[in-house]
Amino acid sequence: MKIKKYQGETEEQVIELAKKELGNDAIVLSIKRITPTGIFSIIKKPYIELTASYDENKVKLEEKPKNNVFSDIRNKIASNSIEDKLKEKDNTIERLEKRIAELETYLEKAMKSLSIDKNKANNKYKNQLVQFIYEMLIAKGVHPAVCSEILEEIDKEENQNIDLIVKIVYNKIIKMLDNAVCTDLFIENDNKQKEAKTIVFLGTTGVGKTTTIAKLSSELIMNKNKKVGFITSDTYRIAAVEQLKTYAEILGSQVEIVYKPEDMKEKIDKLKVINDYIFIDTAGRSHKNEKNMREIKELLDEIDNPEIYLVISSTNNFDDIENIIDVYSKFCKFNIIFTKIDETDTIGTILNIAYKAKNKIAYVTVGQNVPSDIERFSGEKIAKVLLGSMYK
Ligand SMILES: Nc1nc2c(ncn2[C@@H]2O[C@H](COP(=O)(O)OP(=O)(O)OP(=O)(O)O)[C@@H](O)[C@H]2O)c(=O)[nH]1
Ligand SMILES: [Mg+2]
């Protein structure tokens, strides 16, 4: 016995292929639907693989195989022996039974494909690959309007090849994301000014403000040989000051505590003298609480020309993120840091924000490790994740 594999788009197609080449006596060992994973799932469509075994003495692959039951019968009728004819009758009945069973399976499949066709009527796009990409982007949290912007034009084109469609989609996503990349950051400019630069971190509760401060300041202190002083106004949460103090101690930095906005100037002046940068940590505040937002504004009013980062957890849903951005936009200008992208399944919200093009994105954080789990925001990595690969 020998084994041979056949690949095709449908089960009927591979069965037909195998039957044509190996005849009706071949045995089907398995029929599997193979789905390529990750980005390959887009470039290569799922396909059906049939594995069959056959008797090499009966089937010579180069020879034209016996076609079907009917040609078989015709050949046998040509034989004159009665014994042969009886044997033939038995075989014919057996084969007809097999044929009926095959027809039943075929009908069952035809019914199923009929319901698939019905679903197709609900598809947004006529090109199946474009539809597939659409569904994938939606599942990753990309807003339908953003999907339309990316996919509508491509869907209009006839006979596009798969590679080209994927390339166009990938490049469109990267372009959208790259438009939001923030350039020219105080943190990255080698601060040669005499005065220390103040960098403020705002955001709702628990999004990772203090951890992000530790990551960014470590990079400046350890790799760029800069001096960073810290100020915290988070006197609400027990242990918040301690958290920042612990990082400061490890980094050999000074920490000042601000209890009320009027103290801010004095503390900044104190740290200005010996530092290149002053990182200001704030208490996590609900953007829905007007009093909280007023307090933040009062605090910012005391700081001259700060660079502000709004820290947003990418695990929030798009509507919440939009609200947060809108509320903070009313009283300050900021760049965004998206945290916890290691924890989200809907990284598409970042693309939605980039598409809105109101704010620039500076960094993403990808885990809890200080200082390593922070990266400069880049369109390429997010685009790959949106098309099915892992964030690496
Ligand atoms: N998985 C993951 N966890 C993170 C990331 N960044 C921060 N965290 C975790 O989020 C939790 C809150 O982090 P903090 O830095 O204390 O957050 P915060 O915004 O300062 O919190 P408040 O000051 O209470 O508002 C901690 O357990 C961090 O380790 C990240 O990128 N990925
Ligand atoms: Mg904090």
Structure confidence by residue, pLDDT tens digits, 325-345? 999 999 999 999 999 999 999
Indicate which ligand has the atom closest to the C-alpha of 238. 1
* pLDDT above 50 for 82: no
Ligand 1: residues with CB < 6 A are 203, 205-211, 234, 237, 240, 284, 339-340, 342-343, 365-368, 373
Q: Which domain holds residue 164?
A: 128-179
184 domain residue, yes or no: no
* Alpha helix positions (H), the chain: 11-22, 40-43, 69-77, 82-120, 128-139, 144-156, 162-179, 209-218, 240-251, 264-272, 290-301, 318-329, 348-356, 379-386
Residues 50 and 159 in one domain: no
**Structure confidence at residue 76 as a pLDDT band (50, 70, 90):** very low
Average pLDDT over residues 277-301: 92
Which amino acid residue places its CA nearest to atom 13 of ligand 1?
Answer: 208
Please, are residues 236 and 296 in contact by the beta-carbon 8 Å criterion? no
Residue 369: inside a domain = yes
Residue with CA closest to ligand 1 atom 27 = 368
Same-domain pairing of 143 and 258? no
pLDDT of residue 202: 97
Kindly report the protein residue whose alpha carbon is nearest to atom 21 of ligand 1.
Answer: 206
Q: Tell me, what's the pLDDT at 63? A: 45
For residue 213, tell me if it sits in a domain. yes
Locate 210 and state its tokens: 């203090």
- Do 210 and 167 fall into the same domain? no
Structure-token pair, residue 146: 């953003």
The Cα 216–Cα 212 span in angstroms is 6
Percent of the chain with pLDDT over 90: 51
User: Same structural domain for residues 156 and 286?
Assistant: no
Ligand 2 centroid–CA 164 distance in Å is: 46
- Is pLDDT at 384 greater than 80 in this prediction? yes
Of 89, 120, 151, at which residue does a domain stop?
Answer: 120
**Whether residues 91 and 154 fall in one domain:** no
Which ligand has an atom closest to residue 205 CA?
1
Q: What is the pLDDT of residue 193?
A: 67
Do 319 and 375 lie in a common domain? yes
Our mutation pick for probing the ligand 1 site, out of 309, 310, 368, 375, counting the most ligand atoms within 8 A of Cβ, is 368
| Average model confidence (pLDDT) across the chain | 84
**Inside any domain, residue 190:** no
Shared domain for 348 and 230, answered yes or no, is yes
Distance (Å) from CA 114 to ligand 2 centroid: 57
The alpha carbon of 203 and the centre of ligand 2 are apart by a number of angstroms equal to 9
**331-334 contacts, C-beta under 8 A, 24 or more apart:** 331/293, 331/296, 331/297, 331/300, 332/202, 332/297, 332/300, 332/308, 333/308, 334/202, 334/308, 334/309, 334/310, 334/359
Q: Could you tell me if 166 and 98 lie in one domain?
A: no
* 237 and 345 in a common domain: yes
Helix (H, G, I), strand (E, B) or coil at 281: strand
pLDDT of residue 83: 55
Tokens 């790799």 — which residue? 223
Q: Which range is least confidently modeled, 106-115, 118-127, 137-146, 166-175?
A: 106-115
3-class SS at 331?
Answer: coil
58: phi then psi, degrees, rounded to nearest 5: -85, -35
For residue 70, tell me if it sits in a domain.
yes
Q: Which atom of ligand 1 is nearest to the CA of 285?
A: 25
CB 147, CB 134: distance < 8 Å: yes
One-letter amino acid of 251:
L
Q: Is residue 188 part of a domain?
A: no
Measured between alpha carbons, how far is residue 46 from residues 109, 197, 362, 376 in Å?
Answer: 17, 55, 38, 35
Question: CATH number of the domain that 296 lies in?
Answer: 3.40.50.300
Q: Which residue is closest in CA terms to ligand 1's atom 26?
A: 208
Q: Which of 15-29, 82-96, 304-318 has the lowest mean pLDDT?
A: 82-96
| pLDDT at residue 65 is higher than 60 | no
How many angstroms does the Cα of residue 289 sit away from the middle of ligand 2? Answer: 18
**How many angstroms from the chain centroid is the CA of residue 280?**
32
Phi-psi region of 243 (alpha: psi -120 to 50; beta: other; left: phi over 0): alpha
Of 26-40, 99-113, 236-250, 314-328, give the range with the top mean pLDDT. 314-328
Q: How far away, in angstroms, is 210 Cα from ligand 1 center?
A: 7
256 and 328 share one domain: yes
Q: Looking at the domain assignment, is residue 353 inside a domain? A: yes
Least confident of 55-64, 205-214, 216-225, 267-276: 55-64
Domain co-membership, 251 together with 325:
yes
Last residue of a domain, one of 120, 137, 168: 120
pLDDT at 314: 96
User: What is the share, in percent, of the chain residues with pLDDT greater than 70?
Assistant: 80
Q: Is residue 336 part of a domain?
A: yes
Separation of CA 294 and ligand 1 centre (Å): 24
User: Are residue 281 and residue 297 in the same domain, yes or no?
Assistant: yes
In this predicted model, what pLDDT tens digit does every residue of 130-169 receive, in sequence order? 998 999 999 999 999 999 999 999 888 876 788 888 889 9
Strand partners, 48: 8, 33
At residue 74 the predicted structure's pLDDT band, cuts being 50, 70 and 90, is very low
Residue 26 banded pLDDT, cuts 50, 70, 90: confident
Pocket test for ligand 1, best of 200, 201, 211 (most atoms within 8 A of CB): 211
Q: Provide the whole-model pTM.
A: 0.72
Cα angle 205-206-208, degrees, rounded to a multiple of 5: 120
Compute the distance between CA of residue 309 and CA of residue 362 in angstroms, rounded to an integer.
8
Residue 133: CA atoms inside 13 Å, Cβ hemisphere, count? 34
| Counted domains in the chain | 3
Instruction: Give pLDDT tens digits for 231-288.
Output: 999 887 778 889 999 999 999 999 999 999 999 999 999 999 999 999 999 988 888 8
